[in-house]
C-alpha cells in the first residue's frame, strides 16, 4: 500500500530523473522495451497463476492470448519501428519563407501516469507503458486494487527489472487512485468505466494534465441480411465470452433482422455447446471477477426476467470452491430500452439480441445511443460496409469478426465521446506520449528583412499579402 507522501516522493524522483535525461537515446529506449518484454516472457507462468488467483478461475489460454501475447507483440513492434518514429519529420515551408526549413521534432513529455483496470490487469497496465517508454518517458503505474495478486507480482517484477526512476508500480485502494489522479503528470491514461473516468478527468483538470480515457460502452454487433449465421454466431460468441464478457470491446448486444433472429439463436446455442462442451465447468470458461461485479450482473438479469423478457440460459452457474463464480452465457431476446441491460455496459456474459426491421433501422439504433468503443458488422456487401462506415461513429470497426483490431499494433486503439478520448498503441501511442515540437530554421541568407517596418505597400502587394 502506497501512502500519499510516498506517492509524491516516487513521482518527484521520476521528475528529477527525467530532467537529468530529457531525451533518452534509441539504444536506451530499446533496452527498456527489451526489459519489459523479458519481464513478461520469463514470468508468464507466474503471471497466469496470479490472474487466475484474482479471478477464482481464468482460462489459461485466455491469459496467454489476451494478457501475455499482446504485450510481447507491442514491445517487439515498437523496438522494430522506433528509429523511424523518433526521426524528425520535415514540414513544407511557404515560398515566402524559403529558403528557411521546418521540421517536427518528437520529444518525450516527461512522467506518464497509467491507471489500469481489473479485467485485463497485465495487458492494460503494460501496453500503454510500452508506448510511453518508446517515446522516452518515465512511467508510474497504479494497477487495480481488485486484482491484488497480479498487482503484487507486477510491483515485485518491476522492481527487479527497472530502476524505480524509470518505471514504478504503486499499489493501493481507491484513495491511492484518487491521489494518483491528482498528481501533475505530463500525461495520464485511464482505462475503466465512464463514471470513474469523469472523476479522473476532473482531478487531472486541476493540473491541466492531458488525459487519454479508454471507457468502453455499448458495443453493437450488426448482422447483415447477407451474413452467414453460423459464422456470425461463432465470431460473436468468441468476442462475447472471452473472459466471460469482461472485455471493454466485447459485443454488448446484437442487432439482426427480426425474420432471422430465431435461426441466429439456434446458431448461438450450437456454437456455445461446441465452445464449452462441459458448460461453465469447462476449463476454457472464465469466472466473473469480484462479488460487486457478480451482484451487479445478477440484478441486471433479474430485472430483465421481471419485465417478461425471454431469457435463454446456455449453461448453469458454477460456484468455485476457492471463491468466485462462473456465470453462464445467457441470451436475452428483445429487451426494452429502459432496462439496465440496455442502458449500461453489460461487461459480463449476458447478450441481448434485438430484432430489427433492416440495416437502416440497426444503424439508427446505434446512432441513437452514445458512440461505442467498437462496432462489429457482418456483411460481405461492399455497399453495406460503406454505409456502416459513413453513417456511424465508433472507436474502431471490424467487419465479419470481433476484437481482432486490437491485435494489430499498427492500428490506433481508442474511443470517441462516451467511450473515451484519445488513442494509443503502436505509432499512435508513441505520438500520444510525445510532444510534436515545431521547429523553424532560418537560412543564413533570406528575404524576411524586407517585411520589416516601415512596410512597403508595393512589396506587400507583390507578395500577395
DSSP class per residue in 404-432: GGGG-TTS-EE--GGGEE-EESHHHHHHH
**257 tagged catalytic:** no
- 3-state secondary structure labels for all residues of 228-249: CHHHHHHHHHHHHHHHHHCCCC
How far from each other are the two terminal CA atoms of the chain, in whole angstroms?
63
Task: Provide the grid cell at 249.
Answer: 470491446
> CB of 377 within 8 A of CB of 388?
yes
- Return the C-alpha cell found at 230: 453460423
Q: Which residues contact 195 (CB under 8 A, 6 or more apart)?
A: none
Active-site annotation holds for 214: yes
**Cell for 227?**
451474413
Residue 209 CA to residue 3 CA, distance in Å, equals 22
Strand ranges (E), 49-137: 89-91, 101-108, 111-115
Distance CA 240, CA 350 (A): 9
Neighbours of 73 (CB within 10 A): 16
Backbone angles phi, psi at 177, to 5 degrees: -65, -40
Helices then strands (H, E): number in the chain? 17, 20
Q: Which of 166, 214, 345, 418 is catalytic?
A: 214
Collect all residues with Cβ–Cβ distance below 8 Å to 109 and sequence separation of at least 6: 135, 137, 186, 187, 433, 434, 435
Q: For residue 196, give the DSSP letter.
A: H
Cβ 320 vs Cβ 51: under 8 Å: no
Q: Are 372 and 395 in contact (CB under 8 A)?
A: yes
Q: Which phi and psi angles does 240 have, rounded to 5°?
A: -75, -45
Concatenated DSSP letters for 14-74? HHHHHHHSSS--HHHHHHHHHHHHHHHHTTHHHHHHHHHHHHS---HHHHIIIIIHHHHHH
The three three-digit cell numbers of residue 344, written as one number: 449500461
Nearest-angstrom CA–CA distance, 157 and 40? 9
Q: Rounded to an integer, what distance in angstroms lies between the CA atom of residue 174 and that of residue 195?
A: 14
Closest CA to 107 of 428, 439, 437: 437
**Which entry of 53, 62, 67, 248 is annotated as an active-site residue?**
248
Active site residues: 214, 248
Amino acid at each position: 500500500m502506497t501512502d500519499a507522501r510516498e506517492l509524491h516522493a516516487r513521482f518527484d524522483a521520476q521528475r528529477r530523473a527525467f530532467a537529468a535525461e530529457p531525451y533518452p537515446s534509441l539504444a536506451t529506449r530499446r533496452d527498456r522495451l527489451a526489459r519489459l518484454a523479458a519481464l513478461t516472457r520469463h514470468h508468464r507462468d507466474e503471471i497466469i497463476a496470479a490472474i487466475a488467483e484474482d479471478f477464482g478461475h481464468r482460462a489459461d489460454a485466455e491469459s496467454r492470448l489476451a494478457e501475455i501475447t499482446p504485450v510481447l507483440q507491442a514491445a517487439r513492434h515498437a523496438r522494430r519501428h522506433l528509429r523511424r518514429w523518433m526521426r524528425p519529420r520535415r514540414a513544407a515551408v511557404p515560398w515566402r519563407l524559403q529558403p528557411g526549413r521546418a521540421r517536427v521534432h518528437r520529444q518525450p513529455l516527461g512522467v506518464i501516469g497509467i491507471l489500469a483496470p481489473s479485467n485485463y490487469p497485465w495487458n492494460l497496465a503494460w501496453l500503454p507503458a510500452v508506448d510511453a517508454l518508446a517515446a522516452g518517458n518515465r512511467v508510474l503505474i497504479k494497477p487495480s486494487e481488485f486484482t491484488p495478486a497480479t498487482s503484487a507480482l507486477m510491483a515485485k517484477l518491476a522492481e527487479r527489472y527497472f530502476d524505480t526512476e524509470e518505471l514504478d508500480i504503486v499499489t493501493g485502494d481507491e484513495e491511492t487512485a484518487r491521489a494518483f489522479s491528482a498528481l501533475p503528470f505530463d500525461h495520464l491514461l485511464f482505462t475503466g468505466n465512464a463514471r470513474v473516468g469523469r472523476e479522473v478527468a476532473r482531478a487531472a483538470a486541476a493540473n491541466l494534465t492531458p488525459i487519454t480515457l479508454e471507457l468502453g460502452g455499448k458495443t453493437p454487433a450488426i448482422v447483415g441480411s447477407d451474413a452467414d449465421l453460423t459464422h456470425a454466431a461463432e465470431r460473436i460468441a468468441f468476442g462475447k465470452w472471452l473472459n466471460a464478457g469482461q472485455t471493454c470491446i466485447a459485443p454488448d448486444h446484437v442487432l439482426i433482422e427480426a425474420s432471422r433472429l430465431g435461426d441466429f439463436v439456434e446458431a448461438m446455442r450450437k456454437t456455445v455447446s461446441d465452445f464449452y462442451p462441459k458448460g461453465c465447468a469447462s476449463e476454457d470458461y472464465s469466472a466473473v471477477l469480484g462479488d460487486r461485479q457478480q451482484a451487479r450482473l445478477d440484478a441486471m438479469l433479474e430485472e430483465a426476467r421481471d419485465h417478461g423478457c425471454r431469457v435463454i440460459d446456455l449453461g448453469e452457474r458454477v460456484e468455485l470452491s476457492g471463491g468466485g463464480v462462473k456465470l453462464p452465457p445467457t441470451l436475452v431476446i428483445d429487451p426494452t430500452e429502459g432496462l439496465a441491460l440496455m442502458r449500461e455496459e453489460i461487461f459480463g456474459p449476458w447478450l441481448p439480441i434485438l430484432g430489427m426491421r433492416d440495416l437502416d433501422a440497426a444503424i439508427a439504433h446505434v446512432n441513437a445511443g452514445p458512440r461505442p468503443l467498437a462496432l462489429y458488422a457482418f456483411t460481405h456487401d461492399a455497399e453495406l460496409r460503406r454505409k456502416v462506415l459513413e453513417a456511424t461513429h465508433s472507436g474502431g470497426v471490424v467487419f465479419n469478426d470481433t476484437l481482432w483490431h486490437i491485435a494489430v499494433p499498427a492500428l490506433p486503439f481508442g474511443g470517441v465521446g462516451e467511450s473515451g478520448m484519445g488513442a494509443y498503441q503502436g505509432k499512435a501511442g508513441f505520438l500520444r506520449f510525445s510532444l510534436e515540437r515545431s521547429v523553424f530554421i532560418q537560412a543564413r541568407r533570406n528575404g524576411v528583412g524586407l517585411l520589416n517596418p516601415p512596410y512597403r505597400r508595393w512589396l506587400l502587394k507583390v507578395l500577395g499579402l
